[in-house]
């Protein structure tokens, strides 16, 4: 049970400038030290590619915890599960890794304040949150818990995720009105790692369910529902559920928690009595008597919210947060200006060296679009002598036989037909040669000596040479193809003027040089025109992304944050997944997002 001092640095006011910063840390550039807590130091950092850099929060694990092998093993295992959570109400964990001997977490940067600072400021001003905003934050908190609790593994079994540390420092509200749970799945490691910390105080004790205080108690997702009920009570009333006093008696307080001895919202303000049952059900001492799921708790809050403000949205909450912290906006702007003046390009060489030495235990599995259907290869006939054809698998088809053009139905690449076998070519040529020889013999046998022969008269200038001309004769239509056996060239006898029968020179069959095999194409199908491909570069993709960023800012100013989740997915992909091999995919994603902007 620690006071939770390591949480406020996520979004707190600007801290004193550290002269050792900016400093390269793995693939990140640490820009500002935010705070130091029970688990480690917290920094604001920049990362990404030049031109579209993004902010992140880096949590370094303290050296004495990093030296504990069991703590690090638990920490890495739990973070690898938490890194799979991607939801609008859960702060994203980007990376779990190690740089040198330092273990770290890279988390989503949320520009806003946590509930501890928010409630403290309201108490200082002697006011409390409007009821509709308090219910709205409680609903969003329950919605994030419902998502995490229902997450399953690849085989469909439940991951049994339990936060175990739902409390105001672990709930952030951005200046845009978003509510996010932080450190999901990681808080358990932090609490166990600091179990013997003498600075442990009442900060988390007041949010622990009875089963957490009883030795051997069963902790499950309903434990988080209890803690969320405590947070909802404090949002509505602006007061702590259990007041410890200057010298708290933890044993006596634990008994009160186990008995369910706590005040109701209506006792603080009669106008809040409408929400007594809502809070009391979440705070039942026996877990089986509470809401049995965070989704059930969320829906109960929603029913109460509809009666107060059915059209409430993040816009109203964001406007309230900006007004509440208006005095801190100047420091926030100074921080942004300082961060903007720090460029990754100035540290490119150092970052390249540090990135190589970085060990990543897990990185966020970003949501990807459905992969295209695997290319289907057209069956390639191996021969027609058996009357069968076999399809070669795509992996076994030589590169030379692949066609880069897409098929007409868009199913993938087409496969060139295999060239005909040489024996078939020889057979066809032999058939035509045999037909020609038989035609010559037929002419010679059907002519008599007395018939007028169509013989070319020798040119006097040509001497005694005789030129022979034959009338073209169509080959019989039903003539069967003779077997491709070798035959002696037939000789036609031709009659000369003197009546002597002489053997003319043999008829030679001249075979043309074989043409290279051509791809057999379907005449009914038109091949798509060949397109020239241009080589993409990081600079070109970066320029396109920057232009899209400007378009989205204009869209966001006009239509609100409807596409904020899709934008975050796109920027996360560009920063973490894009490399020289995925530039085409990056362009495709940018174009898809642009299409949504035009809808």
Per-domain boundaries in the chain: 8-363, 369-379+397-444, 538-598
17, pLDDT greater than 90: no
Please identify which of the residues 6, 114, 165, 183 carries the catalytic annotation: 165
pLDDT-above-70 percentage for the chain: 65
Query: For residue 363, how many other CB atoms are within 10 A of its CB?
Result: 16
Pairing of strands 413-415, 402-406: antiparallel
Architecture label for domain 8-363 = Orthogonal Bundle (1.10)
Instruction: Look at residue 141 in the predicted model and tell me its pLDDT.
Output: 98
**pLDDT score at 4:** 37
Torsion sign across C-alpha atoms 392, 394, 398, 399: positive
Helix (H, G, I), strand (E, B) or coil at 378: coil
Token pair for 420: 């005909």
Question: Would you call 165 a catalytic residue per the annotation?
Answer: yes
SS3 45: strand
SS3 459: coil
Residue 95 backbone phi and psi in degrees, to 5: -155, 145
Q: At what angle do helices 221-237 and 131-149 cross, to 10 degrees?
A: 170
Q: Give the tokens for residue 502.
A: 């002489």
Mean pLDDT of 533-538: 73
pLDDT range class, residue 52, cuts 50, 70, 90: confident
Token code pair at residue 401 = 């036989």
Tokens in use for 334? 């100074």
Name beta bridge partners: 96.
105, 362
Please report, rounded to a whole number, the percentage of residues in the chain having pLDDT higher than 90. Answer: 33
pLDDT tens-digit map of 560-572:
777 877 877 787 7
- Cα–chain-centroid distance for residue 426? 56
Kindly indicate the confidence band of residue 106, based on its pLDDT and cuts at 50, 70 and 90. Answer: very high
What's this model's pTM, rounded to 2 decimal places?
Answer: 0.60
- For residue 204, give the nearest of 165, 162, 246, 256 by alpha carbon: 165
Sorting pLDDT into bands at 50, 70 and 90, what band is 360? confident
CA–CA distance from 123 to each of 129, 172, 545 (Å)? 10, 18, 44
Phi, psi at 427, each rounded to 5° = -65, -45
**Cα separation, 46 vs 32, whole angstroms:** 10
User: Contact 97/55 with Cβ under 8 angstroms?
Assistant: no
Q: What distance lies between CA 168 and its chain's CA centroid?
A: 31
């Amino acid at each position: 049970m620690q006071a939770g001092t390591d949480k406020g640095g996520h979004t707190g006011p600007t801290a004193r400038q550290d002269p050792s910063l900016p400093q390269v840390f793995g693939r990140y550039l640490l820009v500002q030290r935010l705070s130091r807590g029970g688990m480690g130091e917290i920094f604001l950092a920049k990362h990404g590619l030049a031109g579209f850099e993004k902010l992140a929060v880096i949590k370094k694990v303290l050296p004495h915890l990093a030296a504990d092998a069991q703590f690090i093993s638990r920490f890495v295992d739990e973070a690898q599960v938490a890194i799979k959570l991607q939801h609008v109400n859960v702060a994203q964990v980007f990376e779990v890794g190690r740089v040198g001997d330092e273990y770290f977490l890279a988390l989503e940067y949320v520009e806003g304040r946590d509930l501890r600072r928010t409630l403290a400021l309201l108490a200082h001003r002697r006011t409390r949150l409007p009821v509709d905003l308090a219910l709205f934050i409680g609903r969003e908190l329950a919605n994030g818990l419902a998502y995490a609790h229902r997450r399953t593994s690849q085989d469909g079994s439940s991951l049994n995720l339990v936060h175990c540390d739902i409390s105001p420092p672990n709930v952030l509200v951005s200046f845009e009105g978003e509510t996010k749970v932080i450190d999901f799945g990681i808080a358990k490691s932090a609490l166990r790692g600091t179990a013997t910390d003498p600075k442990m105080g009442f900060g988390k004790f007041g949010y622990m369910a009875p089963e957490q205080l009883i030795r051997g108690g069963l902790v499950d997702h309903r434990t988080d529902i209890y803690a969320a009920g405590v947070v909802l009570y404090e949002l509505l009333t602006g007061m702590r559920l259990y007041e410890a006093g200057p010298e708290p008696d933890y044993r006596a307080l634990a008994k009160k928690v186990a008995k369910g001895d706590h005040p109701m919202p209506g006792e603080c303000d009669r106008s809040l009595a409408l929400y007594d049952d809502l809070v009391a059900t979440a705070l039942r001492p026996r877990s089986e008597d509470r809401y049995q799921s965070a989704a059930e708790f969320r829906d109960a809050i929603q029913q109460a919210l509809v009666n107060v403000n059915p059209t409430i949205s993040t816009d109203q909450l964001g406007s309230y947060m900006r007004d509440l912290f208006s005095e801190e906006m100047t420091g926030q702007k100074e921080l942004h200006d300082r961060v903007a003046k720090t460029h990754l390009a100035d540290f490119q060489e150092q970052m390249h060296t540090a990135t190589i030495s970085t060990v990543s235990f897990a990185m966020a599995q970003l949501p990807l679009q459905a992969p295209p259907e695997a290319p289907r290869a057209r069956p390639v006939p191996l021969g027609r002598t058996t009357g069968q054809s076999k399809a070669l698998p795509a992996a076994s088809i030589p590169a030379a036989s692949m066609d880069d053009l897409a098929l007409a139905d868009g199913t993938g690449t087409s496969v060139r037909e295999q060239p005909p076998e040489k024996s078939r070519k020889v057979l066809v040529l032999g058939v035509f040669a045999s037909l020609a020889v038989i035609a010559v013999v037929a002419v010679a046998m059907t002519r008599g000596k007395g018939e007028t022969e169509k013989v070319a008269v020798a040119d006097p200038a040509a001497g005694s040479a005789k030129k022979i001309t034959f009338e073209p004769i169509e080959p019989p239509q039903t003539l069967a193809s003779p077997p491709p056996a070798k035959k002696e060239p037939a000789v036609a006898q031709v009659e000369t003027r003197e009546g002597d029968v002489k053997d003319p020179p043999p008829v030679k069959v001249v075979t043309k040089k074989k043409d290279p095999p051509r791809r057999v194409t379907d005449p009914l199908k038109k091949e798509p025109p060949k397109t020239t491909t241009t080589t993409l570069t990081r600079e070109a993709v970066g320029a396109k992304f920057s232009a899209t960023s400007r378009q989205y800012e204009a869209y966001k100013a006009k239509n609100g944050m409807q596409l904020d989740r899709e934008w975050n997915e796109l920027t996360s992909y560009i920063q973490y997944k894009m490399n020289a091999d995925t530039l085409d995919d990056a362009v495709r994603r940018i174009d898809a997002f642009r299409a949504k902007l035009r809808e």
